[in-house]
A and B are shown apart, each in its own frame.
Chain A
Amino acid sequence: AQSVTQLDSQVPVFEEAPVELRCNYSSSVSVYLFWYVQYPNQGLQLLLKYLSGSTLVKGINGFEAEFNKSQTSFHLRKPSVHISDTAEYFCAAVSGGYNKLIFGAGTRLAVHP
């Protein structure tokens, strides 16, 4: 089955600490992978994407992600978080010829002072 799994539903972290949000995908989906961020009552904003090439992808707001084909993972990292990073983060993969996005269930990142 085609699926994207986000391993943590909530991640609490203190300000200026590093954070990693985990994402695994099933091998039946394509390896076009994305991370989106959603602030309360808003739409989704693209953080970064992996289509091909370098396995380390840098995105906006200091986030980066590493594509690991052998572990079918695409974990999101930030070396030092800020209060403003508090939001919900979604991992997604493209499925099929119509560019359909399959989303994980989301990870709520809560940054505490």
Chain B
Amino acid sequence: DGGITQSPKYLFRKEGQNVTLSCEQNLNHDAMYWYRQDPGQGLRLIYYSQIVNDFQKGDIAEGYSVSREKKESFPLTVTSAQKNPTAFYLCASNLLGNTEAFFGQGTRLTVV
């Protein structure tokens, strides 16, 4: 089955630690996106990538980093510089020229 897989589903981080969220897709999609979801605020774009080895900042990129070494993978690192990282993180992808985006099941990150 084609789709987007995010892992882990739940993640706990100690203050001061970096953590990496995984996002893999086997849909052969060109573009991939990371969104952060907080209650009552909808989804906010963190980073996006159109092609391998290229990515752009979204609206709330501070404290986050990404890489796109392979078309299928777009991991997100939440660094210690992100002051309020507790949130639900969603990865999405689509074909360029096709506006429909497909979403993963999300990762819930909690700082302990």
Q: Do A and B truly interact? A: yes
Partner-B contacts on A (CB < 8 A): 6, 9, 32, 34, 36, 41-46, 49, 51, 90, 94, 98-101, 103-106
Residue of A nearest to B90 (CB): A43
CA distance A46 to B92 in the complex (A): 12
User: How far does the alpha carbon of A43 sit from the alpha carbon of B90 in the complex, in Å?
Assistant: 7
Q: Are the CB atoms of A98 and B56 closer together than 8 Å? A: yes
A112 CA to B24 CA, complexed, in Å: 37
Nearest CB in chain B to that of A101: its residue: B101
The digit string for B36-76, where 1 denotes a CB below 8 A from any CB of A, is 00001111110010100000101000000000000000000
Ranked nearest first, the 9 interchain pairs of A and B with the lowest CB-CB distance are A43-B103, A105-B42, A103-B42, A103-B43, A44-B103, A43-B105, A32-B99, A94-B99, A43-B104
Among residues of A, the one whose C-beta sits closest to the C-beta of B97 is A99
Supply 22 A–B pairs (Cβ within 8 Å), ascending by A: A9-B40, A36-B103, A43-B104, A43-B105, A44-B92, A46-B100, A94-B99, A98-B48, A98-B50, A99-B94, A99-B97, A99-B98, A99-B99, A100-B33, A100-B45, A101-B43, A101-B101, A103-B42, A103-B43, A105-B41, A105-B42, A106-B40
Measured between beta carbons, the chain B residues less than 8 angstroms from A106 are: 40, 42
On whether the beta carbons of B90 and A44 are closer than 8 Å, the reply is yes
| Cα distance, A51 to B88, chains bound together (Å) | 29
B31 in the interface (beta carbon within 8 A): yes
